[in-house]
Amino acid sequence: MGQQKTLDSFLVFEEGIRRGENIKNNAVFRLDYIPEKIYEREQYRVIGREIGVHMGKGAGSHLLISGTRGTGKTLTVRYLLEESRKFAMERGIDLEVFYIPVRRFRNTYSILKEITSSKHGTPYDALTEKAKKKLEEKKIILALDELEFLEDMEILYFLSRETNAMVLAIVTNPLWVKKLEDSIQSSFQPEPIIFPPYSATELFEILRQRAELGLYEYDEKGIEILSAIVASRFNGDARYGILALKHLGKENKWDEETVNSAVAKSVRDLELLLLATLSHESLDLLSILATHPDGMSTTELFHTFRRKWDVSKPTFFTYLNDLDKQGLIGTGGGRRGKPYIVTLLLQYPELIKEELKRREVK
Ligand SMILES: Nc1ncnc2c1ncn2[C@@H]1O[C@H](COP(=O)(O)OP(=O)(O)OP(=O)(O)O)[C@@H](O)[C@H]1O
Ligand SMILES: [Mg+2]
């Protein structure tokens, strides 16, 4: 019996080894991986040229970069920032670039603190003075990614009025900028650049390059099928393509059925990745919603949530807003005195419990 068990587990291990054998480099399949060369499209050139203007005369326009999920906004900007840093160094241009993920640095204070590498508790005025000085010393390019998460708009006012920094603002919805007050809009007037969803042909190029970097063996026909599915069913969101490619690479099977099941796994992977970034409060909110498949009114949800978390209504709505921005919940109704109905938008709601359990173990 004992002998049998050992043999079984040996077989399982061997299967695992075989499955992993085709992976040359796991890091390539992380969504924040930056390849040495990226697939270039028109927007890449436009942004690159404007960065060039800034490196030259220090007069690059602010840009408002928008596009739906997985259209390469973050990668393109991070890549160009890194390249411009190298270029400036080679040409002796005094340039400093910053990439600020606004989801992590949500207000003016924390962004200025990050830029100036200041200690926590530095008074606001001292911080703005320090930032002004630092941003005056050289040419500065500052990318603010996922700007929708910004809680106060002062930073945009400050950067456009008080400094010569070039701002690359990244959002999913180009109409977001309309929300800004007139006083900010009059000084922060970015040029719009829109990233359209990837076509199947573009996705094929991106995924073939990833396969080349990350796998020993792959099949172009299988990647073609995958690219077509992602373009038509996932609005060209490259994230699904990359996550599915990893599953295909592991199995090293490329027929249509395996591609379809890899795509289903990628949906699950992405939902789990999103849940892993949430606070415990937000996860609890989602787990309440998971028990109400038809949705809940905000009042009902607030009362249930309050049984565990003693938060004010505004704080509760901040959580809801955040989840909404991340596409994890949907809100409807709310007109003519009807209450807002909140619904969960996850395809795999059981992942919420899985994530909560994972945290307990940690
Ligand atoms: N031009 C490209 N060349 C190579 N890889 C790409 C390219 N565009 C996107 N990718 C890959 O696709 C994935 C999604 O890209 P990215 O994160 O830049 O999208 P995004 O537009 O910022 O999406 P979101 O709105 O969700 O933040 C990443 O893993 C990225 O590496
Ligand atoms: Mg992004």
> Rounded CA gap, 285 and 301, in Å?
8
Q: Is the CB of 102 under 6 A from ligand 1?
A: no
Residues 242-298 have pLDDT tens digits of 999 999 999 999 999 999 999 999 999 999 999 999 999 999 999 999 999 999 999
Q: Which residues, other chains included, contact 6 with Cβ-Cβ below 8 Å and sequence gap of 6+?
A: none
Query: Distance of CA 44 to CAs 8, 48, 198, 214, 307, Å?
Result: 52, 6, 14, 24, 49
Query: Distance of CA 1 to CAs 7, 8, 125, Å?
Result: 10, 11, 73
The 10 Å Cβ neighbour count of residue 299 is 11
Per-residue model confidence (pLDDT) at position 167: 96
Kindly report the protein residue whose alpha carbon is nearest to atom 6 of ligand 1.
72
H or E segment and range at residue 193: strand 191-195
For residue 31, the CA-to-ligand 1 centroid distance in Å is 7
Q: Is the CB of 236 under 6 A from ligand 1?
A: no
Per-residue model confidence (pLDDT) at position 109: 96
19 falls in which pLDDT band (50, 70, 90)? Answer: confident
Kindly report the protein residue whose alpha carbon is nearest to atom 1 of ligand 1.
39
Q: Where do the domains of the chain lie?
A: 42-195, 198-275, 278-361
Amino acid identity of residue 83, one-letter, is E
| Ion ligand 2: residues, CB < 5 A | 74
Q: Is the CB of 345 under 6 A from ligand 1?
A: no
Task: Name the β-bridge partners of 8.
Answer: none
Mean pLDDT for 126-142 is 92
The 10 Å Cβ neighbour count of residue 155 is 27
Residues 143-185 have pLDDT tens digits of 999 999 999 999 999 999 889 999 999 999 888 877 777 777 7
SS3 for 287-351, per residue? Answer: HHHHCCCCCEEHHHHHHHHHCCCCCCHHHHHHHHHHHHHCCCEEEEECCCCCCEEEEECCCCCHH
> Rounded CA gap, 219 and 259, in Å?
11
Q: Where does 278-361 sit in CATH, by number? A: 1.10.10.10
b/e map 84-101, b = 16+ CB within 10 Å: beebbeeeebebbbbbbb
Q: Report residue 261 CA to chain centroid gap.
A: 24
Task: Name the β-bridge partners of 330.
Answer: 343
Amino acid identity of residue 204, one-letter, is F
- What percentage of the chain reaches a pLDDT higher than 70? 96
Q: For ligand 1, what atom is nearest to the CA of residue 195?
A: 21
- Kindly indicate whether the domain formed by 42-195 is annotated with CATH number 3.40.50.300: yes
Cα end-to-end span (Å), the chain: 34
240, 234 contact by CB (below 8 A): yes
For residue 128, the CA-to-ligand 2 centroid distance in Å is 27
In this structure, which ligand is nearest to the CA of 32?
1
Q: For ligand 1, what atom is nearest to the CA of residue 198?
A: 8
Q: For ligand 1, what atom is nearest to the CA of residue 75?
A: 18
Per-residue model confidence (pLDDT) at position 5: 61
